Amino acid sequence: MSLQELETAVSGLPQDQLREFAQWFEEFLADAWDRRIESDVAAGRLDGAAKRADDDFDAGRCTPL
What type of residue is 36?
R
Q: Has this prediction a pTM greater than 0.85?
A: no
Q: What is the mean pLDDT of the chain?
A: 97
Give Cβ neighbours of residue 13 (< 8 Å, ≥ 6 apart).
21
Q: What is the pLDDT of residue 65?
A: 87
37-49 residue pLDDT tens: 999 999 999 999 9
φ, ψ (nearest 5 deg) of residue 40: -65, -40
Is 64 a residue whose pLDDT tops 90?
Answer: no
Helices (H), 1-65: 3-11, 15-43, 47-58
Q: How much is the pLDDT for 52?
A: 97
Tell me if 56 sits within 8 A of 62, measured CB to CB.
yes
